[in-house]
Each structure stands twice: as C-alpha cells, then as structure tokens.
Amino acid sequence: MSKPKAFTLVELLVVIGIIAVLIGILLPALSRAREKAKTVQCATQLRQLGIGLQVYSVNSRGVLPAWSSTQIAGGNGTGRDSQGEGWTEMLQPYFSKVTDRVYQCPMFNFTERINYFMSARWSSKLGRKTIKFSEIKKQSEFIVSGDCTQKFFYPQPWGTNGMAEDDCDKDDATWKCIVFAGEADGINVHRTGNNVLFADGHVDLKKQFEGNSMTYHPKKMEDWDTVTGD
C-alpha cells in the first residue's frame, strides 16, 4: 500500500496565500456590514424616540418636552445640575429610562453618554423652552433630533467638555448639535453621514445639511445659523 501523498511546502504556501487573499476581500465587506447594521440600529432608535415624543405631546396638550440648561440625570439641582428635569427625564414615563441604550448611537465610543439632542434653536429665539407640534408646518423638513456630533457635549480628549457627568438635556439652543464632516470640527459618525429625526417621524441619513430638505425653523426653510424667532 502506497503512503498518502503529503502537501509540499509550495502547495501549502499557495493555500495559505489564497486564504490570506480571501480574508483580505471578506474583512472589509464584513466591516461595512457591521457599520451598516449599526447605522440601521441608530435610525431605529431615533424613530422610537420620535414616537416617544409624539406620545408625550398627546399627554401634554401637544407640547414637546421642555429643554433647559445642563441637567445631570437624577441630580438635585446643585453643582452642574440645573433646577428641574432634563427633556430625557421628562420623557421617561412615555418612552425609556435616561440610562437606556436607546439614547446611545452604537457608532459612538462613549459609554453611558446620550448621543441624541432636542431641537431648541427656534423656541430659544422666542424666549421659550418648548414648541407645540401644531406649530410645526414643515413636518417633513423640521429637525427634531439626531446624532449629536458637537464636541462641546463630550469629554476630552475627543470632545472639549471637562464635565465628568453626562448632560441628559442636550439641545441646540446655543450650540449646533449636528455638525457634519466638512464643517468646523464636524464629523459624520456613520460612513455616509449622520442620522436625522424629522417632525413627521421619519429618519434620514444625511451627508451634510441640505437647505432644500432640512430646516431648524418650523415654518420656513432656514439653517441653524440663520434661524429667526418670527
């Protein structure tokens, strides 16, 4: 009986080379697939947030949760924590706990940090802390929430904030929250953009601000920098 033929060194090297090539082809595809899944998860979370805001407004005479200054979840109004509750705390009976991962975009590397914000630019111009859904005439264009990529809200070294605690009341009254790649200190946390939640409940992945389909004013098309209180 003849002995089984063994692989030669050359044959082994060829097989190893083929495997290495296949791994090189598959790994980027798997990485993109994982990123796509995280982008979809983020969009799903924002849609859930949109539903939570709708439910809250139904039980609050059409008003959205009020935004305010820095709020530390569970705080007592001392230190960096302002008096009252943050909008995420006000939303808890109708949505999720402040500490739930539904507020955390999976593409961010910050654990236990809220990555979504509340629209406040227009109401702040009017000297108000909230807005009614009935005031939003541009339902499919008005930005309600989305990925908060503003570095001011995050700790160093990536961010610029020295706070150890997380602000559970992120809003864009004085700081633009969605800062896209190409803008000063802007980033796109997803491969092709940032997720944006609109007043009608739909979520779009946007590569940059689009003046013809996005607005920070509930009644007309305006960028964050040009929003007026009229």
Question: Which pLDDT score is estimated for 208?
Answer: 96
4: in domain: no
- Cβ-based neighbours of 99, under 8 Å, separated by 6 or more: 73, 112
pLDDT at residue number 30: 63
Residue 143, domain member (yes or no): yes
Spell out the SS3 assignment of the chain: CCCCCCCCHHHHHHHHHHHHHHHHHHHHHHHHHHHHHHHHHHHHHHHHHHHHHHHHHHCCCCECCCCCCCCECCCCCCCCCCCCCCHHHHHHHHCCCCCCHHHCCCCCCCCCCCCECECCHHHHHCCCCCCEHHHCCCCCCEEEEEECCCHHHCECCCCCECCCCCECCCECCCCCCCCCECECCCCCCECCEEEEEECCCCEEEECCCCCCCCECCCCCCCCHHHCCCC
Per-residue pLDDT of the chain (230 residues; tens, 9 = 90+): 555 566 576 667 777 777 777 767 766 656 677 889 999 999 999 999 999 999 999 999 999 999 998 889 888 877 788 888 999 999 999 999 999 999 999 998 776 799 999 999 999 999 999 999 999 999 999 999 999 999 999 988 888 888 888 999 999 999 999 999 999 989 999 989 999 999 999 999 999 999 999 999 999 999 999 998 87
Are 216 and 121 spatial neighbours (Cβ–Cβ below 8 Å)?
yes
Residue 88 lies in a domain: yes
The domain of 114 spans 9-226
In a domain, residue 50? The reply is yes
Amino acid residing at 149? T
Decide if 1 is inside a domain. no
**Residue 102 counted as domain residue:** yes
Pick the closest to residue 133 from 198, 183, 63 (CA basis): 63
- Give dist(CA 164, CA 77) in Å, integer: 16
State residue 163's pLDDT score. 82
pTM: 0.86
Number of domains in the chain: 1
Residue-level pLDDT at 1: 54
Burial of 86 (0-12, 13-18, 19+ CB in 10 A): buried
**Which amino acid, 1?**
M
222, two tokens: 């305006």
In this structure, is residue 2 part of a structural domain? no
**What is the reported pLDDT for 81?**
81
pLDDT of residue 227: 95
Domain membership flag for residue 210: yes
Strands 194-198 and 143-146, how do they pair? antiparallel
